């Protein structure tokens, strides 16, 4: 089909990029760099085009998504683009009443707390997110050899927003369901796994040449609970896209004790936050995986010399990895000076030129 041709062309154009080579643990001309939340409020050109457009609405306008996704590629020369969207977009697309409130994050009008509430989590059809397919088609045509990373929220992190009704620090209701009604929990994350899998497949079919599963808040769990209550649903997601052969990245915050399990869940690349040095992370994860990370995003508020010193530390710890994608340990903070990010990209490229 026409769409399949688009996908194949996009995947072929990006195939030999430093980013995809590093994900596949092949030799690279330089360590590839991209930043989580590289599009967004740190960029004046982003604030300008977002003026007066609510977050969720901006995700549904293909021209705007294309422009915002390309902004950090043009400005910083990063080695990959990440699709501009949000982890709650597929939930909105199946009719969940939610909004992204400025300065807060996703807020769900009627939280999911009972078995009857599960009926609202119907499967995601590609037609529900036609604007995603359209935006990725436009984007990959513009990106050429620069790979596009698609993404989705992992079942645990999505469940936490649905159950709590918004951002949380303790995940008390989420854990209450997990421990108190394991069957309801399993059915909930099973439905989310199907929705997330479908959302990733849409993005790959449209031309994304890698995918990242964000289980941002999984670090709140002890390893035994992660293995029992969360890992099966995330493994299902990874298995459902395995056939495409595109690299699968798995990331969460505060996951030092979960790194091996997050690799085992089916990732090709494991994202590491700034709390665990990459050489130690590699020992925990074992062979056969590339690593992504892990400069503390707040380091970018320090003078340039300090940023370079801390970057050298990350690169030194990454020296013997099978594959390394340089990134921050979590997203770019909104008040970051964009010039600091541009310099960081140049610096990593220079220091790692082979």
**Residues annotated in a binding site for substrate:** 37-41, 86, 161, 216, 330
- The answer to whether 41 is a known catalytic residue is yes
**For residues 273 and 153, what is the distance between their CA atoms, to the nearest angstrom?**
17
Q: Which residue among the candidates 41, 120, 122, 227 is catalytic per the annotation? A: 41
- The answer to whether 320 is a known catalytic residue is no
In the complex, least distance from residue 334 CB atom to ligand 1CP, rounded to whole angstroms: 8
**For residues 27 and 216, what is the distance between their CA atoms, to the nearest angstrom?**
29
Nearer Cβ to ligand 1CP, position 84 or 229?
84
Q: Which residue among the candidates 7, 25, 79, 86 is catalytic per the annotation? A: 86
Task: Confirm if 267 and 289 have CB atoms less than 8 A apart.
Answer: yes
Give the annotated binding-site residues. 37-41, 86, 161, 216, 330
Q: Which residue among the candidates 24, 37, 113, 228 is catalytic per the annotation? A: 37
**For residues 118 and 112, what is the distance between their CA atoms, to the nearest angstrom?**
7
Instruction: Report residue 232 as tokens.
Output: 């099966």
- The answer to whether 74 is a known catalytic residue is no
Site of tokens 């807060």: 104
**For residues 25 and 322, what is the distance between their CA atoms, to the nearest angstrom?**
5
Task: Confirm if 205 and 2 have CB atoms less than 8 A apart.
Answer: no
Going 137 to 141 to 142 to 144, the CA torsion angle's sign is: positive
Nearer Cβ to ligand 1CP, position 193 or 216?
216
The residues binding ligand 1CP (CB under 6 A) are 36-41, 55, 82, 84, 86-87, 100, 102, 105-106, 151, 157, 167, 214, 216, 331
Q: Which residue among the candidates 7, 25, 75, 161 is catalytic per the annotation? A: 161
In the complex, least distance from residue 86 CB atom to ligand 1CP, rounded to whole angstroms: 4
Nearer Cβ to ligand 1CP, position 167 or 286?
167
In the complex, least distance from residue 64 CB atom to ligand 1CP, rounded to whole angstroms: 12
In the complex, least distance from residue 322 CB atom to ligand 1CP, rounded to whole angstroms: 25
Nearer Cβ to ligand 1CP, position 71 or 197?
71
- The answer to whether 50 is a known catalytic residue is yes
**For residues 150 and 85, what is the distance between their CA atoms, to the nearest angstrom?**
9
Nearest residue to ligand 1CP, by Cβ distance, number only: 105
Instruction: Report residue 163 as tokens.
Output: 């159950």
Site of tokens 């320090």: 302
**For residues 149 and 311, what is the distance between their CA atoms, to the nearest angstrom?**
23
Which residues are annotated as catalytic? Answer: 37, 41, 50, 86, 161
């Amino acid at each position: 089909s026409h769409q399949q041709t688009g996908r194949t062309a996009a995947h072929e154009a990006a195939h030999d990029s430093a980013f995809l080579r590093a994900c596949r643990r092949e030799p690279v001309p330089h360590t590839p760099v991209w930043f989580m939340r590289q599009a967004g409020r740190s960029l004046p050109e982003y604030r300008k085009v977002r003026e007066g457009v609510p977050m969720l609405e901006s995700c549904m306008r293909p021209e705007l998504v294309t422009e915002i996704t390309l902004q950090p590629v043009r400005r910083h020369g990063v080695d990959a683009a990440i699709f501009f969207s949000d982890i709650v977009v597929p939930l909105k697309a199946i009719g969940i009443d939610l909004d992204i409130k400025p300065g807060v994050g996703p807020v769900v009008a009627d939280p999911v707390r009972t078995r009857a509430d599960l009926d609202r989590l119907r499967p995601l059809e590609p037609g529900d997110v036609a604007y995603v397919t359209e935006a990725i088609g436009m984007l990959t045509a513009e990106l050429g050899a620069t790979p596009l990373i698609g993404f989705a929220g992992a079942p645990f992190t999505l469940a936490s927003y649905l159950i709590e009704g918004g951002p949380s620090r303790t995940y008390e209701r989420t854990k209450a369901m997990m421990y108190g009604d394991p069957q309801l929990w399993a059915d909930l994350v099973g439905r989310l796994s199907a929705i997330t899998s479908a959302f990733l497949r849409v993005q790959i079919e449209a031309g994304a040449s890698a995918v990242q599963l964000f289980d941002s808040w999984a670090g709140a769990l002890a390893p035994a609970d992660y293995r029992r209550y969360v890992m099966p649903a995330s493994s299902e997601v990874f298995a459902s896209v395995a056939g495409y052969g595109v690299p699968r990245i798995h990331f969460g915050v505060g996951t030092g004790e979960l790194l091996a399990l997050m690799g085992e869940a089916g990732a090709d690349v494991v994202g590491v936050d700034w709390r665990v040095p990459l050489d130690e992370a590699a020992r925990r994860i074992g062979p056969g995986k590339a690593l992504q990370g892990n400069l503390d995003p707040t380091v970018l508020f320090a003078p340039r010399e300090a940023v370079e010193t801390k970057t050298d530390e990350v690169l030194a710890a990454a020296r013997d990895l099978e594959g390394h994608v340089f990134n921050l340990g979590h997203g770019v903070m909104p008040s970051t000076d964009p010039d600091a990010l541009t310099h960081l990209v140049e610096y990593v490229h220079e220091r790692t030129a082979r």
